[in-house]
């Protein structure tokens, strides 16, 4: 808990349990670093600060630390609850030419698979998921784009998992078949999507 000695922490954490370096002045940043050194709050790679009694979402923290990346493929499938399997290799899409800061942020890049995508395709079909305890959101590709992305051979997702993902989507209340087929057409996967739909429906 935030102690009385540091009541001024409410200035940052009253409405949000996560504060990023981009929200702070240089003086505020140094103050929060000092408080973290005293054990009052937690400093995550000098990019993110959280109260000690708050357990942050790793997917969100990775995005905030790297200040880049969009969850895609099996990671997005998992975040959308379209698969029951958890893949410890996280997959994120970055702009083509992006260099992952492995040495600086080893904890957040060790198990990270990078998919480089040219704009404007990189920034299409993006949605966000809310996270309890913070106003920050996880950025990922929407359900429909994710269902199409996993059809690429490089995604290494087997046919059974693909079929199960499509079944979950079709049984969900927020399915949008027009959107699915429109994105599939744009990504040259319409025939493949229709074939899968013909099997699982």
Say if CB 91 and CB 113 are below 8 A apart.
yes
Q: How far apart are CA 100 and CA 150, in angstroms?
A: 23
Q: Which run of H or E residues covers position 71?
A: strand 70-71
Q: How far apart are CA 134 and CA 17, in angstroms?
A: 5
Partnered with residue 117 across adjacent β-strands are 95
Q: What average pLDDT does the structure give for the chain?
A: 92
Six-digit token pair at 139? 């950025």
Q: How far apart are CA 43 and CA 25, in angstroms?
A: 16
Q: Show contacts of 103-110: CB within 8 Å, 24+ apart.
A: 104/45, 105/45, 105/65, 105/66, 107/45, 108/45, 108/61, 108/62, 108/65, 108/66, 109/66
Mean pLDDT of 38-60: 96
Which of 104, 95, 97 is closest to 123 using CA atoms?
95
Would you state the pLDDT for residue 2? 45
115-140 per-position pLDDT tens digit: 999 989 999 999 999 999 999 999 99
Token look-up 């199409």 returns 148
Binned at pLDDT 50, 70 and 90, residue 89 comes out as confident
Which of 68, 59, 179, 75 is closest to 130 using CA atoms?
59
Would you state the pLDDT for residue 8? 65
Q: How far apart are CA 63 and CA 119, in angstroms?
A: 19
**Comparison of pLDDT for 88 and 174, the residue scoring more:** 174
Q: Is 125 left (phi over 0), alpha (psi -120 to 50) or beta?
A: left
Look up the pTM and report it: 0.92
187's CB contacts (< 8 A; 6+ apart) are 145, 148
50's CB contacts (< 8 A; 6+ apart) are 17, 18, 19, 41, 42, 44, 56
Q: What are the boundaries of each domain within the chain?
A: 4-56, 59-200
Mean pLDDT of 159-165: 93
């Amino acid at each position: 808990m935030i102690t009385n000695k540091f009541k001024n922490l409410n200035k940052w954490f009253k409405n949000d349990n996560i504060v990023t370096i981009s929200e702070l002045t240089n003086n505020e940043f140094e103050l929060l670093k000092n408080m973290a050194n005293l054990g009052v709050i937690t400093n995550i790679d000098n990019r993110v600060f959280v109260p000690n009694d708050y357990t942050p979402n790793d997917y969100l923290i990775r995005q905030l630390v790297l200040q880049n990346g969009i969850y895609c493929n099996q990671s997005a499938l998992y975040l959308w609850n379209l698969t029951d399997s958890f893949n410890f290799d996280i997959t994120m899409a970055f702009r083509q030419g992006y260099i992952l800061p492995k040495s600086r942020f080893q904890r957040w890049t060790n198990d990270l698979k990078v998919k480089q995508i040219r704009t404007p395709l990189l920034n299409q079909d993006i949605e966000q998921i809310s996270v309890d305890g913070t106003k920050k959101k996880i950025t990922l590709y929407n359900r429909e784009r994710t269902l199409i992305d996993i059809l690429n051979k490089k995604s290494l997702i087997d046919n059974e998992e693909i079929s199960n993902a499509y079944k979950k989507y079709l049984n969900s209340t927020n399915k949008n078949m027009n959107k699915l087929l429109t994105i599939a057409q744009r990504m040259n996967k319409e025939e493949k999507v229709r074939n899968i739909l013909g099997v699982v429906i």
